[in-house]
Amino acid sequence: MIRVNQRDMDFREGMTVKNLLEDLKYSFPNLIVRINGEYIPRESYEKTVIKDNDDISIIHPIAGG
Partner 1 sequence: MDTTDRKDSVAKIKEAHRLLKRYEYTPQKIQRGYTNKTLYINISDNTIKSKDVPEEIKDKFTGGKGLGLWYLWNSVTKDTKWDDPENEIIISPGPVGGITQYPGAGKSLVVSLSPTTGSVMDSNVGGHFGPLMKFSGWDALEIQGKAKEDIIIYIDGNKGIVEIYEVPIGPVNSHILAEEVTEFFAESEEEKRNISVISAGEAAEHTLFGVLNFSFYDRRKKVQRLKQAGRGGIGTVFRNKKIKAIAVKYNGVKGDSNNPADIDTIRKLGLKLHKEIKEHDKDQCRMREIGTAHLVEIMDDYDLLPVHNFKYGSHEEAYKIDSKVLAKKVVQGSPDGCWHGCSMSCAKAVQDYELKTGPYKGHKVVVDGPEYETVAGVGSNCGIFDPDYIIECNFYCDTYGIDTISFGTTMAFLMECYENNILNKEITGGIELNFGNKDAAMEVLHQMAKGTGFGKIAGLGVRRIKNLLIEKYGADPKFLNDIGMEVKGLEYSQYVSKESLAQQGGYALANKGPQHDEAWLIFMDMVNNQIPTFEDKAEALHYFPIFRTWFGLNGLCKLPWNDIEPPDNHLTDEPAKVPEHVENYVQLFNSVTGKNIDKEEMILQSERVYNFQRVFNLKMGFGTREHDIPPYRSMGPVTEEEYLSRQERYDKQLKELVGVNPEKMSTAEKIEALREYKYKQYDKLVDAVYKRRGWNKNGIPTVELMKKLGMDFPEVIKLIEEHSSE
Contact map string, positions 13 to 52, toward partner 1, x by CB under 8 A = ------------xxxxxx-x------x-------------
Q: In angstroms, give the least distance from the CB of 37 to partner 1.
A: 13
Helix (H) or strand (E) holding 23: helix 17-24
Q: How far, in Å, CA of 25 to CA of 14, rounded? A: 18
Site size with partner 1, rule: CB under 8 A: 20
Helix (H) or strand (E) holding 19: helix 17-24
Closer to partner 1 by CB, 2 or 14: give it: 2
